[in-house]
Amino acid sequence: MSDDKLSFKEMCAKFDVTPRTLHWYEYTELLAPEREGRSRFYSQREVARMTLILRGRRWGFSLEEIRQWLLLYDEKGSKEQLQEFIRLADRQLAALGEERQKLDETLAELEATRAETARLVDD
Note the pTM of the prediction, 2 decimals.
Answer: 0.81
Residue 34: HSE in the Cβ half-sphere, 13 Å Cα cutoff: 13
Domains of the chain, earliest start first? 6-122 (1.10.1660.10)
SS3 at position 16: coil
Going through the chain in order, the beta strands assigned E by DSSP cover 6-7, 34-36, 39-42
The per-residue pLDDT for range 66-116, each reduced to its tens digit, is 999 999 988 888 899 999 999 999 999 999 999 999 999 999 999 999 999
Residue 11 pLDDT > 70: yes
